[in-house]
A and B are shown apart, each in its own frame.
Chain A
Amino acid sequence: MDPVNHVEGKAYPFGRKNVDTDVIIPAHWLKTISRIGLGRGAFEALRAEPGNLFDDPAYAGSPILIAGDNFGCGSSREHAAWALGDMGIKAVIAPSFSDIFSGNAFKNGILTVVLPQEAIDRLMEVAKTDEIHVDLENQTVTTPFQDRFSFEIDPFRKQCLMGGLDEIGMTMAMDAQISNYEQRAAAAWPWQAGGANA
Chain B
Amino acid sequence: MLKALGMASRPRTLYEKIWDAHVVDQRADGTCLVFIDRHLVHEVTSPQAFEGLRVAGRKVRRPDLTLAVPDHNLPTTPRKDAAGNRLPIADPESAQQLAALEQNAPAFGIRYIGATDREQGIVHVVGPEQGFSLPGTTIVCGDSHTACHGGLGALAFGIGTSEVEHVLATQTLLLTPSKTMEVRVEGALGPGVTAKDLALEIIRRIGAAGGTGHVIEYTGSTIRALSVEGRLTVSNMSIEGGARAGLIAPDDVTFAYLKGRPMAPKGADWDAAVSYWRTLVTDPGATYDRTVLIDAAEIAPNVTWGTSPEDVVPITGVVPDPMDFADPSKQEAARKSLAYMGLEPGMRMQDVAVENIFIGSCTNSRIEDLRAAAAVLKGRKKAPGVKWAIVVPGSGLVKEQAEAEGLDRVFKDAGLEWREPGCSACLGMNPDKVPPGERSASTSNRNFVGRQGPGARTHLVSPAMAAAAAVTGRLSDVREMGGDA
Q: Is this pair of chains taken from one and the same complex?
A: yes
- List residues of chain A with CB under 8 Å of any chain B CB: 15-18, 20, 22-23, 26-28, 30-35, 45, 68-70, 73-78, 81, 96-100, 103-104, 107-108, 154-156, 159, 167-168, 171-172, 174, 177-178, 181-182, 184-185, 188-198
Q: Hey, which chain B residues are within 8 Å of A18, CB to CB? A: 208-209, 308, 333
Instruction: Report chain A residues within 8 Å CB of B165.
Output: 168
Q: Once the chains bind, are B171 and A178 in contact (CB under 8 Å)?
A: yes
> A70 touching B263 by the CB < 8 A rule?
no
With contacts A75-B144, A189-B136 taken as known, whether A35 is within 8 angstroms of B48 at the C-beta atoms is yes
Given contacts A31-B94, A45-B454, A99-B244, contact A177 B33 (CB under 8 A): yes
Judge whether A103 and B25 touch: CB under 8 Å.
no
* Interface of B toward A, CB cutoff 8 Å: 1, 4-5, 21, 24-25, 27, 29-31, 33, 35, 37-38, 44-45, 47-48, 51-52, 56, 58, 61-67, 72-73, 91, 93-94, 96-97, 100, 110-111, 131-132, 134, 136-137, 142-144, 146, 157-163, 165-166, 169-172, 174, 176, 178, 208-209, 212-213, 239, 242, 244, 262-265, 269-270, 272-273, 276, 308, 329-330, 333, 427-429, 446, 448-451, 454
Best-buried of A18, A73, A171, A185 by chain B (most CB within 10 Å): A18
Chain B residues closer than 8 Å to A27, beta-carbon distance: 427-429, 451
Q: Please, which residues of chain B bring their CB within 8 A of the CB of A171?
A: 33, 166, 169-170, 172, 174
Q: Out of A16, A78, A98, A172, name the residue touching B212 (CB < 8 Å).
A: A98
Query: Quick one: given A33-B97, A156-B27, A196-B64, are A70 and B208 in contact (CB under 8 Å)?
Result: yes
Residues from chain A with a CB closer than 8 A to the CB of B159 are 76, 100, 103
Contacts of A155 in B (CB 8 A): 29-30
* B244 cross-chain contacts in A, Cβ below 8 A: 99-100
Q: How far is the CB of B23 from chain A (nearest CB, A)?
A: 8
Instruction: Tell me the nearest residue of chain A to B446, going by C-beta.
Output: A74
Assess the A168–B330 pair: CB atoms within 8 A: no
In the complex formed, the residue of A with least CB distance to B136 is A189
Contact of B270 among A33, A156, A191 (CB under 8 A): A191
Contact yes or no, A76 B132, CB < 8 A? no
Partner pick for A78 among B65, B160, B329, B427, CB 8 A cutoff = B160
Which chain A residues lie closer than 8 Å to B161 at the CB level? 35, 78, 104
Separation in Å of the B452 CB from the closest CB of chain A? 9
Complex-state Cα separation, A96 to B212, whole angstroms = 8
* A to B CB contacts below 8 Å, 17 in the list: A18-B209, A26-B428, A45-B454, A70-B212, A75-B143, A76-B146, A78-B48, A97-B212, A167-B174, A171-B174, A181-B24, A190-B272, A195-B37, A195-B62, A195-B132, A196-B65, A198-B264
Instruction: Tell me the complex Cα distance, A194–B137, Å.
Output: 13
The listed residue with most B CB atoms (<10 A of its CB), out of A26, A159, A188, is: A26
- A28 in contact with B66 (CB, 8 Å): no
Knowing A32-B93, A33-B51, A178-B171 touch, does A197 contact B64 (C-beta < 8 A)? yes
* With contact pairs A28-B429, A45-B454 given, residues A74 and B448 touching in the complex (Cβ less than 8 Å): yes
Q: CA–CA, A196 to B261, complex, Å?
A: 12
Contacting residue for B144 out of A68, A100, A107, A197, CB 8 A: A100
Instruction: Pick the contact of A103: B51, B64, B160 (CB < 8 A).
Output: B160
- Shortest CB distance A23–B (Å): 6
Residue B450 contacts which of A17, A22, A195 (CB distance < 8 angstroms)? A22
Q: Is the CB of B242 within 8 A of A154?
A: no
- What is the bound-complex CA distance between A70 and B136, given in angstroms? 29
Alpha-carbon distance between A75 and B72 when the two chains are bound, in angstroms: 12
Nearest residue, chain A, Cβ from B426: A27
How near does chain B come to A35, taking the closest CB pair, in angstroms? 5
The answer to whether B209 touches A23, judged by C-beta atoms less than 8 angstroms apart, is no
Residues of B within 8 Å of A45, CB to CB, are 449-450, 454
From residue B170, how far is it (CB to closest CB) to chain A in Å? 4
B461 to chain A, nearest CB (A): 19
A7 to B325, CA, bound (A): 36
Which of chain B's residues have a CB closer than 8 A to the CB of A75?
Answer: 143-144, 158, 427, 446
Give bound CA distance, A96 to B51, whole Å: 32
* Beta-carbon contact of A191 and B170 below 8 Å: no
- A81 contacts across to B, CB distance below 8 A: 160
| Contact of A26 with B450 in the complex, beta carbons under 8 Å | yes
Closest to A158 in B: B29
